[in-house]
Amino acid sequence: MAIRAFSLVLIWLLLSTPCSGFEPVSGYAFLGEETRAMQDDEFENPGMFVVEQGAALFNEKRVDEEHACGSCHGEHGEGLDKSSIAAYPVVDDNLGGVVTLQGRINYCWEIRMDRFPHEYDHPELIALETFVRNLALGQTIAVETGGPVAELLEQAEVIYNTRYGQLDMSCHQCHDQHRGQMLRGQLLSQGQANGFPEYRLGQGRVVSLHQRLRECFISFRADPFEPGSIEFKLLELYLMRRANGLKIETPAVRH
């Protein structure tokens, strides 16, 4: 109990610093010992089931198909660059601007594999995204901030700071202004995105970042943007840039 109390005090001190001195703190810091142990043990982490599903899809050859994702990138994804995975979202004008990791996977699914593209957040895409991001587990997030990304980050910050819904709430209010304070019996975290796709204990399933953003909008009684919309892509770009320096934890376990 004493160690737990000390940890909470330390988190509060870290999170209570002015935003100008922002230091990213993973949601892992807010977990109890049992939940941390669950996340850390790949045999106990319930999200690893989706990683396995993604691995199967990664190597699946469908009827009349010669190649699978693994044909290019290796059966276990060993041909993929972990640092590149940790840099998503990226900006690629040839692919329409902001490209999330899930969007890139769907592009390859359609163009390279010649398969019918999925809608954003299709279960197969979430499984593939979870598998691919898990390959970079422990890699430091390093989203680009300069060049053409800088202007997009400014647009994204406007969305992050805009109040929505009947409760007139913004992402900034919860995760910046009131970070470290209690809400409904829980300590408000920074809302970091370094664990997505993540396993939500309260829902019993793995959710993508866009799905979680929809849930946040609904919680303050606002009409959410659609998964894969430019607004949510910009928010993902902003949130992942905000997580620069943190380690990838996919699939993280959260309440």
Mean pLDDT by 10 residues, the chain (255 residues): 45 43 86 95 97 97 84 95 98 95 96 91 98 98 95 97 92 82 73 97 96 93 95 98 98 95
85 and 23 within one domain = no
At residue 174, the pLDDT reads: 85
Beta-carbon contacts of 196 under 8 Å, excluding residues fewer than 6 positions away, are 133, 207, 208, 209, 212, 250, 252
104 and 31 within one domain = no
Q: Among 69, 171, 174, 216, which one carries the catalytic annotation?
A: 216
146 and 244 within one domain = yes
Structure token pair of residue 113: 């594999």
SS3 53: helix
Last residue within a domain, chosen from 104, 135, 166: 135
216 part of the active site = yes
240 and 149 within one domain = yes
Structure token pair of residue 20: 């100008």
Range of the domain at 154: 2-43+141-254
215 and 103 within one domain = no
148 and 178 within one domain = yes
67 and 20 within one domain = no
At residue 185, the pLDDT reads: 63
Domain of 55, CATH number, reads 1.10.760.10
157-162: long-range pairs with CB below 8 Å, 24+: 157/238, 159/231, 159/234, 159/235, 159/238, 160/235, 160/238, 160/239
247 and 165 within one domain = yes
153 and 208 within one domain = yes
Report how many domains make up the chain: 2
111 and 234 within one domain = no
Last residue within a domain, chosen from 135, 151, 167: 135
